[in-house]
Chains A and B, each alone.
Chain A
Amino acid sequence: MAYKTHIGSLDAYNKGVIELRDDLRKYAFSNIFEVAGKSQPFERVAVARNLEYVAEVIRIEGESPWYAAPHDEFAIVMDGEATFNFIKLADEQVPGHDGGAAQLGAEPNGPRMGRVTARRGHQVLLPKGSAYQLTSNAPAVALVQTAVGPLTIERWADICTMAGDA
């Protein structure tokens, strides 16, 4: 038997259904492509939150500011192609906030580490001690595993299926 694998994208996705005798807000049901489709480039919109940890959806379109976090982050490209540029930070440049990505004022001084170009299904390490920039010529989507940070946007009521939507 030949199988057909279904993978959503910005242009074509089918959101599932949630049919429960319960408060649907407890399940925070959303869709990555729907969220990215309604986001501004490089907004970091939380779609999952475990206390201080989040998964953020980023619509990558054009050239982002530079970011850094005080811990490792990981990005999975869910649609399109994106390039991640990296610069090594000196110890005193590593951000001192508790967690999550912070935006740097400008491209940091420091040696260029290189770049990773990733496509759908690729997972990229955004290592602690580096700054990174995301770029894409066409809209792409990434899901970033990180902590709640100063750039995390939480708009659950806007992105989640609510009672009556299901």
Chain B
Amino acid sequence: MLANLDRFMPRPLAVTGAMLLACGLKAAAQEGLPVGPPPAPDLTGRYAPLTCAPNGATCPFVVDDIKLTPVGKKMWDAYEEIIGPKFDCAQATPPSLFADPYRWAIHQLTDRVVFEYEKDDIIRTVWLTGWGHPEPGPYDASWQGHSIGWYEGDELVVVTTRYHYDPHGIEDFGGIPSSTQKRVTERYRREGDRLYLRALTEDPLILEEPIYFEFEYLAGDDPLILPYRCELDQARFPTQYADPEKGTSLADFGGRDPELVPVGVEELERRRRENQN
């Protein structure tokens, strides 16, 4: 697992790069040259899900490949769809949010990057390191957590922690929960009109190993349709349709759809090896 994480997050390379950059900046300063932050890749734009959510469908994930901890298994088995906080207009959270069939936008500012989503009127602020933003206090957990970010070459890296407990915070179609220990790392890179996201989700209370997502988005000029304006009475409306005798456990309604849940890192590696052979 560590090997996989190292491949995803080449920290030694990042540290080496930072040291070289620091040396370069110091040398430039000594020579009286203007010194500024390294150029950031231009990611600003509006995006629509492409690969993982074509035509409103969801990603081709495999539920059985996710390795849950014993606690995670128990919580998943106990999950009832009707307890989903979405029925009270709670926001969708990463990583499920990344696969939702809605448009979203990236706004790059000097000290932060703002992600704006059609879905649930979500605004995520990613605080760029080095600008001295305040750290979250002990009571500052939230649906979107606390995000910090930095640029690495042509990528924007975002690390988010301090999430609420979420009954379907790992996968919101399959009902896999996330704990307050969820940590999501996103890496964004743009090539032409395509934006690529690699996302790693860790949650040691729920996931025996991290899960890995890859998404592709299409840049475009279509404006976001805002506001979403979820309304509480409308959100809760469908809950009346559940049969009180049957309950709302997904396991009792044909099981969890195998095409709706992300794969584990090891399974992803196995498939890649298979494809290469």
Is B a genuine binding partner of A?
no
